[in-house]
Structure 1
Amino acid sequence: MRRRCFCQGCGWLVGSWLAASLSAAPAFAEERRTEVEISQRYEWVDSGFADWQAQRLDWQTGQPGAITWYGAALRERRYALWDQGVELGAAVPLGDDWVLQPEVGSAFSPDFLPDWYADLRLQRRLTAGFVGSTSLRHTEYVDSRVDRLALGIERYWGAWRMAYTLNVSDVQGAGTPVGHAVALDHYYGERSVVGLRAGLGREEEVVRDGEVTVSSVAAFAVRGRHWFHPEWAINWELGALSQGDIHDRYGMQLGLRHAF
């Protein structure tokens, strides 16, 4: 059986650092800044499933008004199997209020990660601290295909950010799962942040014999990035996810980030 996560209610793991550059969040320095992070994630899974884990090496480089490049090398373990992959993306300013963000990724001989994916996101700064976004994502698995539309709205005021994202997916051989994700962040210091993530949605999985299983997914997490030195930060996250009657997962992630 190959298990695929098709509901975008699970998108609670992904941050929104790009939108901060369009908002009232603390401003970054004007010079080019490069950051590298190494992180470890572990998730305890019940119902007799093997625990999950992941290691990542992330980097990004950019400066205000110029293209920001970012990428990652990753290694993940699920269902007692290991997959490896890479990701690459860019944030391209289009004038003062628009940012175009293309991103691609691929895995090597995958068992559960996608063969490849391509995502195109467009953000626009609006009035009164609002930021709107839309993205289209195409994901190819060994035995299935997923197309996803995401529509998001964020608002920044003072040192706070609130966001909502609606995800609608089209799964080959299955249906159209819908997911909802909300986020609340508080910025402190020059670059540090702590926040909450919650997601709710529906997941449809295509198993090897073509049977489709459906489950509801709910997730919650608290996460943060604390700069304890101008060049060093700790990234952390604690979260839980319930996947209907299939299993529950409880996870933690810790990363060390260096800027230069």
Structure 2
Amino acid sequence: MGRAQLVTGQGGIPRKWQQVALMGLTLLVAPYLVADEGRTELEVSQRYEHLDNGFAGWQAQRLDAQRRTVSGITWYGAVLRERRYGNWDEGVEAGVAIPVGENWVIQPEAGKTFDDSFLPKGYVDLRVQRLLPEGWIGSASLRRTEYDNSQVDRLALGGERYWGNWRGAYTLNISDVEGAGSPIGHMLALDRYYNDTSFVGIRANTGREEEGLPDGRVFTASVSGFGLRGRHWLDADWALSWDLGWVSQGDIYNRYGAQIGIRRAF
């Protein structure tokens, strides 16, 4: 992957960050660039989380795939397998980011779980992103998540800004949990791109969130967390992804997690 040039484009955003922003995948794939001729990338990852208060550890495996076409449309999907509370759940996710004009991206996404012991039965999500002046990007998404005995509707409103080699972002999550209230959460992110494709960043979140239990019920609890993550490209085709984090789920438990992934570009 060649080095991108820092040419300023519309809204004061360098063109290399415009390419990233207009992919509409800031939560998934914004930390790297995609060649203009189209590109396919696969990543396999393993995560382990230690829980205190006598809870057994969690783990997860994922295989993520992404294809950006010459027209700028990005297709992506994943197969996943997670273990919590002594049970395994498997599922799939898929979505597409479609640029509309020069400033808009529409991103529908859906997921399905096959065992739904603790993960939701499925979800559908629609995200819209708008490129704004002075390096700003605004976004909004609506998501409905189905559990065995409940459903969760969530509105996420976000703003982010690119300047120099930095990206900062804030997201407000407002949820309506059937039978369990209306939790509100906040998320902050700050990334530093130390070359055209590699990055390191921090994440912090606070508020209340929902979580599925093995019996299909959903509960909400106060949540706070902090994490470090990054992706380092070894060359044009291979990269290592990593994530370290801590989450406090109210008085229930603290989770300490680590994830490692290997990414291959074609």
Q: 2:201 aligns with which of 195, 198, 215?
A: 195
| Alignment correspondent of 2:21 | 19
2: distance between equivalents of 1:47 and 1:84?
A: 26
* Root mean square deviation of aligned Cα: 2.4
Distance between the aligned counterparts of 1:99 and 1:78, measured in 2?
A: 35
Aligned to 2:10: none
Who is 2:111 aligned against? 105
Task: Write the distance in 2 (CA, Å) between the matches of 1:139 and 1:214.
Answer: 14
> Residue type matched to 1:83 in 2?
D
In the alignment, structure 1 residue 59 sits paired with structure 2 residue 42: no
CA-to-aligned-CA distance 1:193-224 (integer Å, 9 cap, x gap) = 11000000113568799998653100100000
Q: Which consecutive aligned stretches of 4+ in structure 1 deviate over 4 angstroms post-superposition?
A: 20-27, 204-214
Whichever residue aligns with residue 249 of structure 1, its letter is R
CA–CA separation in structure 2 for the residues paired with 1:253 and 1:211 = 27
Q: In structure 2, how many angstroms separate the alpha carbons of the residues matched to 1:25 and 1:38?
A: 17
Where does residue 6 of structure 1 map in the other structure? none
Is structure 2 residue 252 aligned with structure 1 residue 250?
Answer: no
Among 218, 230, 247, the residue aligned to 1:241: 247
CA distance in structure 1 between the partners assigned to 2:178 and 2:215 by the alignment: 14
* Alignment map for 1:45-194 (pairs within 5 Å): 45-63=51-69, 65-194=71-200
Secondary structure in 2 aligned to 1:128? helix
Cα displacement (A) at 1:27: 5.2
Question: Cα distance 1:26–1:213, how it changes in 2: closer, same or farther (>3 A)?
Answer: closer
Tell me the amino acid that sits aligned with residue 187 of structure 1. Answer: Y
Shift in Å at residue 110 of structure 1?
Answer: 1.2
1:19 positional shift: 3.0
Distance 2:217 2:31 in 1: 46
C-alpha spacing 1:64/1:123, structure 2 compared with 1 (3 Å): farther
SS of match in other structure, 1:257 = strand
Normalising by structure 1, report the TM-score. 0.88
The gaps in structure 2 that reach 5 residues or longer are 1-18
Answer yes or no: is the 8 Å Cα contact 2:221–2:250 preserved in 1. yes
Q: How big is the shift at 1:66?
A: 2.3
Change (3 A) 1:80 1:232: same
1:128, CA displacement in angstroms? 0.2
Task: State the one-letter code of the partner of 2:255.
Answer: R
Structure 2 counterpart of 1:8:
none
d(CA) in 1 for partners of 2:123 and 2:217? 24
Count of aligned pairs: 244
Moved more, 182-191 or 127-136: 182-191
After superposition, the Cα gap between the structure-2 partners of 1:214 and 1:256, relative to the gap in structure 1 and judged at 3 Å, is closer
Note if contact 1:241-1:248 (Cα within 8 Å) is conserved in structure 2: yes
**Contact conserved, 1:163 with 1:184, CA < 8 A, in 2?**
yes
Distance 1:212 1:38, change over 3 A: closer
The unaligned stretches of length 5 or more in structure 1 are 1-16
Q: Which moved more, 1:206-215 or 1:30-39?
A: 206-215
Identity of aligned residues (%): 59
User: CA contact under 8 A between 1:21 and 1:27: conserved in structure 2?
Assistant: no
One-letter code aligned to 2:21:
A
Decide whether aligned partners of structure 1 residues 64 and 149 sit closer, same or farther in structure 2, where only a CA change above 3 A counts.
farther
Q: Do 2:185 and 2:205's aligned partners in 1 also have CA atoms closer than 8 Å?
A: yes
Query: What is the letter of the counterpart of residue 58 of structure 1?
Result: D
CA distance in 2 between partners of 1:212 and 1:87 (Å): 21
SS in 1 for 2:82: strand
